[in-house]
Structure 1
């Protein structure tokens, strides 16, 4: 037979050495393993993608279904309180009861429900929205229906069932009407679901809803309606038959094949009506809120699986061929590698040299950056110190402005002390010790008053770093009024202080906040210098965890051109002003975690907002 062996086959036998044969076997095994891994990874990705799509579709359809149910749930409740319905049931007048038919018909049309009907206490239909139609419910007795029994027992019920007259399924919503002597009637609203099923049929994902007994109530596949996803006990099946809930439906199991095992337990095989073979789906089930229903979405898996597997296998084949080609080229290029390795060694040494040079440069730059950071920190420290100095200068400037007022506040008790001292001396000379003791007590009280004023001045003038803490707002306001009180009285300006709560606590620096209030009161007094019947109002209110403080006057307000740049340095309305008071005040409030705003509202209104201390 060797005479029939082709010359080419002989060349192949000579080329196919044992080592090369092993290499070929390994190459084929590698390609097979890559193909298996690609198909497995593609299946995992495809199932995951389909699961996400199924979950999204389920959530959207649950939202639509719940919205449709909730839209009609209030209708029985409203009708149960309708005076015409109650009057007709109470009087049992046939004419009044008959007059309900057109009303229910109009309401059914406007509310877009299938039918609305009224039962007497024994379950007999006495009025219905379909009174004109051949399938009118009037005269039918529905006492055998669970929705009647549940409404009588519990006051309300929701029951999905097959219509015995209309031959159409729907959700029956019922409400019991009670009178002085007990039940006077039952109002029933039937909501049909054909529109929802029609909408679901537009999608490629079969969708159905099951009740607590796993019976399909609503389905995009009409043939699946009233099938079950789990076996139903004989006793329960008989009860369903007796209530005619699902008519003469067989309640057979839904044609869903046994689920796969492991991570793919949600993958099912199902044969859709009209199709010749099973298809694979990913099932996602989710609860329908406010009901005992579950909505199931079957997302087709095969199209995604096929595309993912084809793409993955192509990529795996390409990767395998590239890998095998690379391995083959490796042997061909083995001799070149030594030369290449030597060249790479030279390149490595050059690269190390470059790295060392660049490292040195980076160290130099880093040193400059460190120096620049230190310089910036020193500059920031100087800026902070300058800001403290500016705040202190502002306080001293305010003290200069109110010095005459404070001096007057002190002169009055000093003069009084002198008078009471002279009187005490005379009284002691006349041996009127009791009266003299009273004068000395008054002198002590006036001395305390002077001490309070000078103590407030010392605290106000003291230079100290900012100390943000819990501060009683009334104490700050009292301190500010102590410093500007004389000027308020001198200008005859009415002052009103309104506190939303008697003991408001804010987070701030007490002295600096007092400085802000003094500055704003000074500005208000200057604005009211030419205003008769001047008024200043300080109002403190709360909102959540913030406290707002308004300082308002009835002066001329601020010009529009000043409002635009009021918190910019050197912006002022005073002929001799520097325009720094409000800038410093704004910085003080911001440092305390608050905000500062101004508006014209029957005069200038400054609003300070600070954190409320717990």
Structure 2
């Protein structure tokens, strides 16, 4: 026993040492993978940032060229020289419509706007430094916010006789219009101006945020997090968003005096590192499992002989218990079958017994009045019902024993008419409006007269019970020929079926349990009877009430 305990203790120590070594290996692998993925991610981000910077610079450079074209346009030069400002304004409007500028101004050397393509406000004045660059025959460049619009301004002097500057063309470009042409990028890219204001971005919710110290401007939510071997990680939270761990890459764009920054989400590198470390752990676990299985097999062979006799005894005892349980189950099945058969007999005999009672009471009244003829007729009807009960009992016995009861060619329409005749008093007493459509030609099917009539009677009785509490009581029966089948449709305006899928199961009922017609066997028996005739009995709910449908094959050659 002590040797077994020492063996188990050595195994536990070996497992712990192996687990510590595997965990350390997985951690080192995770850190190396994460660092390499961050380096690759930053390299990709620098490429995307360089592409975005070049794209913005090319967009603005195209407007630089347009500024030179407008400043050297003969219409503009002549209009200024001759002070025909209306013609110049028309030319500027044409340039704006053609090239998509936000606004084009022509100002005097002192900054006063002479005319504009978009009727600029008279309060708008351009800075002296901006105009001075154009007056010194350079291309002026400036960034501005006008009425909440982010603007890039380009200026060029208009020379008369190629020597004397008489005005300055100022071309204003909307950054929003330029950003609209950018392709969708997965990472936020922001261009900050010299005051550290987010002047341009592919994310509108990051615009005009400040990463400087200006307390009057909403701050750019970016804080330092941890470092990974010299790579700084940041906590970045966009407006109305969640915190993200990112790394960033920056690039200064000298032509635009902007600093581009791209923010790269580290969740994918972390997921890659985590996945690879999990693969390392899984591989180590597989190796450990193989070793454990080998060890368990070795130990199993040692203890196999010790426990084999005990296992055989337990198996024999369990087998004996299972045999007893199986015998009890067989007895319970017999009792359940007997209960189902009794319930079926009670249900199927209910209607003939009710008819016998009705005929007996009528016969007594006829005898009391001395009318022996009608009384004898009622006695004959009672005899018919007794014979009918005998046939029903025979059918139920055949149903319970799965016997094949004899069938014959019968007229389906006559069966329906007979069932309606037997139910006519019940229909009238229930206040139900009957709508029956039977075909003039005979529809012969292969079935049992009494059994098929009993199915139709059962459906009619169920329909009357379903409409007992309905305000509208309509019962519709329609028999028709559909190809090589006869179809009987019976619909009511009752409460419908709660569970259509279970309606043909034994003991399913929507009536009160214990009632004379509430045993739940009628539809189960009807379904089995129709199936033995080679047909189908189906049910579905309507907008109001339910519909049952009997489909039986027509006997070939009987309807010619």
After TM superposition, the score normalised by the length of structure 2 is 0.47
The higher radius of gyration belongs to: 2
After TM superposition, the score normalised by the length of structure 1 is 0.44
